[in-house]
Amino acid sequence: MSNMIVGNWKMNLDIQQAKTLVSRLNEQIIKTDAKIVLCPNYIVLSTVSELLYDQGITKFSLGVQNINDHDDGPFTGEVSALMVKGLAKYAIIGHSERRVNYDEDNQTIAKKLATCVRHNITPILCVGENLHERQEGLAQRTIIDQLEQDLSEMVTSEVSQLVIAYEPIWAIGTGENASPSDVEKMMMELYRYFVNKYNELVASKITLLYGGSVDADNAKSYTNINKVGGLLVGGASLNYKVFSKICQL
């Protein structure tokens, strides 16, 4: 099965920088069977979408980094699935930077997932424990608890289309890596959870990603893990040389 490699550009790149990055990635990524998803900020999203369309570039799909849980209304500064659905096929939902910095709770995340599905956008749901939870031996319980609440508004057929990124918070943007054996244990835990809660077919259809300080040197050690279906890459997705390597491993 081909890997999914998601690049989360976070709050980086203006229009010109985004165009340059996409052009360079397009030149460098020659041979890959990875499903590559670029997640720019909202301001550059339509420019990147037009660039891909105008130049007939099909090797990248687009995603957004968040959406509001409503379709429209008095929500100043927010962007809805309705607005991005013609441009983005994917949406990162519940990223820890949103959970932590913007107090995004599991109830809101559940609504955002339902909104994505209603608009035919595939959610990339992020789950992960913080350092304290890991040190207390609560990593697995934390993640299962997040899933229980986050998926509460989805029916089984919708769950089977999900992409889930296991992103230990202490490994995001820190250069600290989760060990491949820890990631493998967590992936098995996730798989078992979906088998028990839904069934084996659902569990096998869900794409599981790992994210947290992935770079060109460690990427393979994660994609080699049983049940890992790809990577969510933050900082390294802004460097065309590194990201191209990750996409072609």
Q: In the complex, which residues of this chain contact ligand PEP (CB under 6 A)?
A: 8, 95, 167, 172-173, 211-214, 232-236
Query: In the bound complex, what is the minimum distance in angstroms from residue 196's beta carbon to ligand PEP?
Result: 27
Task: Measure the CA–CA gap between 151 and 113, rounded to whole angstroms.
Answer: 8
Task: Measure the CA–CA gap between 135 and 247, rounded to whole angstroms.
Answer: 32
Closest by CA to 50, choosing from 84, 8, 19, is: 19
* CB nearer to ligand PEP: pick between 216 and 232: 232
* CB nearer to ligand PEP: pick between 99 and 119: 99
Query: In the bound complex, what is the minimum distance in angstroms from residue 181's beta carbon to ligand PEP?
Result: 19
* CB nearer to ligand PEP: pick between 3 and 8: 8
Closest by CA to 79, choosing from 61, 66, 63, 62, is: 66
Q: Is residue 132 flagged as an active site residue? A: no
Query: In the bound complex, what is the minimum distance in angstroms from residue 37's beta carbon to ligand PEP?
Result: 12
End-to-end CA distance of the chain: 14
Among the options 95, 97, 104, 184, which is catalytic? 95
Closest by CA to 45, choosing from 22, 59, 62, is: 62
Among the options 78, 167, 176, 200, which is catalytic? 167
* CB nearer to ligand PEP: pick between 151 and 231: 231
Q: Is residue 167 flagged as an active site residue? A: yes
Query: In the bound complex, what is the minimum distance in angstroms from residue 229's beta carbon to ligand PEP?
Result: 16
Give the residue nearest to ligand PEP (CB): 234
In which residue are the tokens 């913080």 written? 130
- Exposure pattern of 184-203 as b/e (b: 16+ CB <10 Å)? bebbebbbebbeeebeeebb
Tokens of 248: 């072609």
- Catalytic residue numbers read 95, 167
